[in-house]
Chains A and B, each alone.
Chain A
Amino acid sequence: DQQVKQNSPSLSVQEGRISILNCDYTNSMFDYFLWYKKYPAEGPTFLISISSIKDKNEDGRFTVFLNKSAKHLSLHIVPSQPGDSAVYFCAASARNFGNEKLTFGTGTRLTIIP
């Protein structure tokens, strides 16, 4: 049972345009959401997060939107740059597990076309 889903395995975007990565979840107990970025042969690195009490969090070129009623979150990257080409993982945690466990989606490979 995949509780965090990233339905697009890959996405290609022109440099300078907006990249939108999507993530859906099924467990209503999730209250904190994170995005990680992963380059080949490296470990994932934290990008941005959002608490369930908010609907938007922004950090430079990266913005995460949360729609709790739809159990959907999205990551917007504006403008997209070649260095953004990587695999992006959505992850979620629940306070009733002490926020110890992260449940990851399967990832979306983003390719920025110069």
Chain B
Amino acid sequence: NAGVTQTPKFQVLKTGQSMTLQCAQDMNHNSMYWYRQDPGMGLRLIYYSASEGTTDKGEVPNGYNVSRLNKREFSLRLESAAPSQTSVYFCASRLTGGGYNEQFFGPGTRLTVL
């Protein structure tokens, strides 16, 4: 089991460029999440998907779009990158039902927007 995988690991963009961060999980989890981590801010939820075909906004959704392509994959798109989106992005997944289950995180994508 690879768990939660994210690509790319690192990316440098210029202001205004677009890109898609990819996330996949092989644990047959229902829910998937995108977070960003900034210094002194902890992890903040951008978007989440409680099941295939559904997505919902989190705390900081502006400037981002998501796609739950299938049960395994959940992508995050920046249409027009801004320096404020320089951050480390984490994808997570969770098995729902049968009580509370913790979220499992990927290794992260470090994004720099110049």
Contact = CB atoms under 8 A, between A and B. Distances in A.
Do A and B interact with each other, yes or no? yes
Interface of A: 4, 6, 9, 32, 34, 36, 41-46, 49, 51, 89, 91, 93, 98-107
B81 interface: no
Contacts of B48: 100-101
Contact of A104 (B42, B96, B102): B42
A30 B100 CA distance: 13
Interface stretch (B60-68, B70-78, B104-112): B104-112
A85 B23 CA distance: 28
Nearest to B105: A43
Interface of B: 4, 31, 33, 35, 40-45, 48, 50, 56, 58, 90, 92, 96, 100, 102-108
B107 A43 contact: yes
Nearest to B41: A106
B42 A106 contact: yes
Contacts of A107: 42
A47 to B, nearest CB: 9
A101 B100 contact: no
Contacts of B31: 100
B100 A42 contact: no
A108 to B, nearest CB: 11
30 contacts: A4-B42, A6-B42, A9-B40, A32-B100, A34-B102, A36-B105, A41-B107, A41-B108, A43-B90, A43-B92, A44-B105, A45-B105, A49-B102, A89-B42, A91-B43, A93-B100, A98-B96, A100-B31, A100-B50, A100-B56, A101-B45, A101-B48, A101-B58, A102-B33, A102-B45, A103-B45, A104-B35, A104-B42, A104-B44, A106-B40
Given A34-B102, A43-B90, A105-B42, 14 more contacts: A6-B42, A32-B100, A41-B107, A43-B92, A43-B106, A43-B108, A44-B90, A46-B102, A89-B42, A98-B50, A99-B100, A103-B45, A104-B43, A106-B40
A93 B103 CA distance: 11
A32 B94 CA distance: 15
